[in-house]
Homo-oligomer: A and B are copies of this chain.
Amino acid sequence: MTAHQSHSSSHRAGVPGVRELSHTDAWTRLRSMVVGRIAFTLDGRLELFPVNYLVDHGTILFRTGVGSKLAASMERLAAVFEVDGYEAESGEAWSVVARGHLEPVLDTAGIVEASALPLFPWQAGEKAFFVRVVPEDVTGRQFPVAAPETWVTPFTGMRRASEE
C-alpha cells in the first residue's frame, strides 16, 4: 500500500460525523435514485457523465448511443459510478460509490429483457444500446453538511445589519 492509498483510506473513515453505510443500505440508496454519474478512462481520456440508470440483477444498467460509454463497455473498462442525495430532515447528505467494470448487453435475450425494463435515457435521442456497470465493490457514507443557510448563495457571508 502506498502513502496515497493510505490517504485514500483515511479519507473515508475516522472523519468526525461520517458514517459508513451498511452494504444493504448502500444498495437500497443505489436503487432509490434515477440519475448518477459514471467515470472511466478511455484511451487515456478521463470521462465523466450523468446517466439515468436502474439497478438490475445486481448491476447498474443504462442506455447509451454510439460513443465513449459503449466503446468503454466493449473493452470491459474499469468504471466508478456514484450517486448522492441530501436529506433536508436530518441535514445529512450521503454518497454511494460502486466500483467495477463496464459490460455491454450483447446477447439477444439480455437485450430483450433490458428493453422491457422501465429505463429511459436521460438524454433523448437514439440510445439503442444497453451497458452495465458490474460492481465489484459498493460502499456508501452519510455525513452532516454545513448548515444549509451557510451554503453558497449570492448572500452567503453577509449578515443582516440589525442582527449585529
Contacts and interface: CB of A to CB of B under 8 A. Distances in A.
Task: Tell me the interface secondary structure of chain A in the complex.
Answer: mixed
A12 B125 CA distance: 12
A118 B5 contact: no
A160 to B, nearest CB: 15
Interface stretch (A20-28, A47-55, A104-112): A47-55
Interface residues of A, number: 66
A137 to B, nearest CB: 11
Interface of A: 2-5, 7-8, 10-12, 15-18, 34-35, 37, 39-43, 45-50, 52, 54, 65-71, 78-82, 84, 93, 95, 97, 99, 117-126, 143-146, 150-153, 156-157
